[in-house]
Chain A
Amino acid sequence: MKRWGVLVGAAVLTIALVAPAPSQGQVRLTSGKIVIAVLNDQSGVYKDLSGPTSVEAVRMAVADFEQQFGKFPGPVEIISADHQNKPDLANVKAREFYERYGANIILDVPTSSAALAVAEAAKELKRLYINITAATTQLTNDNCNKYTFHYAYDTYMLANGTATEVTKKIGKNWYIVYPNYAFGQDMERSFRAAIERSGGKVLLSDGTPFPNDDFSTYLIKARTLRPTMHVLGVMQAGGDLVNFVKQYNEFGLRSKGVNLAIGLLFLSDVHALGVQAFEGTLYTTPWEWVLDKQSREWADRFLARTKVRPTFAHAGNYSATWQYLSAVRRAGTDQPDAVVAALEGFRFSDFFARNAEIRRQDHRVIHDAYLARVKAPSEVKEPWDYVEILSTIPAGEAFQPLSASKCKQ
């Protein structure tokens, strides 16, 4: 029965996707153009994992989309700005994008505190916002709203995969170090919950300033902690994570029995320090370029364009742009309410998001996630070949179940 449902769904979808194709040019643009704004960190700790190359990914998506489906009746403009990971700057820039530059949509927005600020602006000004790089589950819980979508991953997904697996395989006693802002606090909560669910225990958790250069205090503490901890869970991301792992290796903690578990790992982090620094690390990811042929093909095109292999943030930005544009086509207009309606409940599968559904109730985009491991230097066969995918976490299990959602739209 269930399979039939899926088949019928797929058929309807195919028709829905194919049907509007001949009716080209029926898209009505309210201001004669589509403006896509990318707001992210273009100079700081999160620059490499998304940053200017994500703007490039969005450009690529627009070009590919127009090539496949024909041009929109007006130009598609792409604008971007640097929010320096500061929530107040993100707030100012987002309002400016929507009000001054007439942006139809804001994409990306790493740094959870900044992401929440943009969600407020989207809600107030009634414009679309698809977040890709921020992790906080608050975007689809307490702070959810009609115009905000959360696309690639969240702390629940990361903790659910990594904490469960690591507690089972490596050790039960955790010491957690997290950056003290929305993202880190949320990561700490999610990891603690997942660790305790799988029979582990959090001995201690420490919040650090953000951004931060010197983690020696926490590394020394890790060794002297009693009772003995098995896993040092580090929730830092981007440049902070690179610093942390560098110092972890300098202190020689791996050989002293302090196992590292990383909450959020981007390909760019591994590239920055080399695989030996991360060797054997287990982590959860929504996508890696080595996933399969389709992903590799896209990653090759991305490499040719930007000279780097994509992180999942780049792929997510591309995919989200594509889904937005296709929703505009389906809706036949760029009016925010109509596009939101076209996005809600939509099911799709592209090179980035497999078996994806844009949940109507909380705007969480659910899709398959993967448990991955960083390779040993001897296993690396080509440049940027750092990751091995161990298993797939199906879309239905990877994210917070709807029953637990605190979203009231």
Chain B
Amino acid sequence: MIARRLGWVALGGLVLLLPRLVYEGLALDILTWALFATALDILLGYTGLLSFGHAAFFGAGAYASGLLALRGSVPYPVNAVAGALVAGALSVPLLYLAVRRRGIYFAMITLAFAQMIYYIINEWRGLTGGENGVQGVPRVLVGGLDLSNLTMFYYVTVPLVAVGMWVCWRIVHSPFGRVLMAIRENEVRARSLGYPVDRYKLLSAVLSCTLSGFAGGIYVIAHRFVALETVHWITSGTVVMMVLLGGMETTLGPAVGAALVLLLRDILSTWTDAWGVATGAIFVAVILVFRRGIVGTLQQLMQSRLHAALESAPRRPDEATPVSR
């Protein structure tokens, strides 16, 4: 228990010190992608549905909050929350259709929807700027405080991301989350127990998309800019990779995966443009060697250590001396 508490304190310290350790822009990217990846994990890890179109919801959140900030002068973080709601609303009809299938079909349907969103954003030039994107998004806090200083923006954003991550954790560690896992493990049995499986899946997907949209909203205000790349399927692929690298179904795995991918990209891209090769190689290695991802494997190791320690420990005297008296 104490070790766990120390771990959280260390993590908190690391998050607060991050802008001193790496470039502020990169630190912010790590925060947003960590939230995005954690949100995806609700669907991918806990519900067992591989969405290959999450970029659409991340992007929808980003475009919505960027446009609200630019044209409606809506301050931060209200615009990010509004972006999240837009992404959530968008996900309802799309995922309503998608959750009727599972496995590769679900992945393909979500990919197809995401590509449709991509082309709509590309063609709706008057609103989204097409290829040029939405530029010059103001970064103003509620109350009119100017947040052009990146470090300040980082510290304003940390609690928001923390709340987002906590919501993700709460969703999956609730009776609702239990049902999701039951559906993942055996959908037929869950259905036969009387759970409306599709409705559970849909709610899980909508929550995941809403939180992804929230991450998108933070992203656009951090970059003061959003362009088509954000809704491209490569973004969907990247975030799936982050979750798998860090470890599905772990509280911090997706965040660790996000940090790892972004740091690797940052370090390698100063050396070579082919940083993707290195990230890809690491990805393959992780999938082959640690199938549970980095955090998942660590947890497993620690648990088996714990078990081993418990078994080899001398039995307590009251247990060891049973009936002889």
Contact = CB atoms under 8 A, between A and B. Distances in A.
Interface of A: 42-43, 82, 86-89, 91-92, 95-96, 99-100, 112-113, 116-117, 120, 123-124, 180-182, 210
A86 B132 CA distance: 9
Nearest to B135: A120
Given A87-B227, A88-B227, A99 B23 contact: yes
Interface string B8-41: 0000000000000001110000000000000000
B25 A99 contact: yes
16 contacts: A82-B273, A86-B229, A87-B131, A87-B132, A88-B223, A88-B226, A88-B227, A96-B25, A99-B23, A99-B25, A99-B150, A113-B133, A116-B135, A117-B225, A182-B131, A182-B132
Contact of A43 (B135, B150, B273): B273
Contact of B131 (A99, A124, A210): A210
Contacts of A210: 131
B153 to A, nearest CB: 12
Interface residues of B, number: 20
Interface of B: 23-25, 122, 130-133, 135-136, 148, 150, 223-227, 229-230, 273
A181 B24 contact: no
Contact of B25 (A100, A120, A123): A100
Contacts of A91: 135, 223-225, 227
B300 to A, nearest CB: 36
A30 B257 CA distance: 39
Given A88-B223, A88-B227, A124-B224, A117 B131 contact: no
Given A89-B229, A91-B225, A92-B25, A117 B133 contact: yes
B70 to A, nearest CB: 11
Nearest to A138: B132
Q: Which of A99, A181, A210 has the most CB of B within 10 A?
A: A181
B291 to A, nearest CB: 32
Interface of A is mostly: helix
A267 B2 CA distance: 69
A103 to B, nearest CB: 13
Contact of A88 (B24, B130, B230): B230
B273 A116 contact: no
A37 B24 CA distance: 19
A87 B132 CA distance: 7
Contacts of A120: 135-136, 224-225
Contact of B132 (A89, A99, A113): A113
B229 A88 contact: yes
A92 B148 CA distance: 15
B131 A88 contact: no
B24 A99 contact: yes
B223 A113 contact: no
A43 B276 CA distance: 14
Contact of A42 (B133, B150, B225, B273): B273
Contacts of A124: 148, 224
B227 A113 contact: yes
Given A100-B25, A113-B132, A210-B131, 5 more contacts: A88-B223, A88-B226, A89-B229, A117-B133, A117-B135
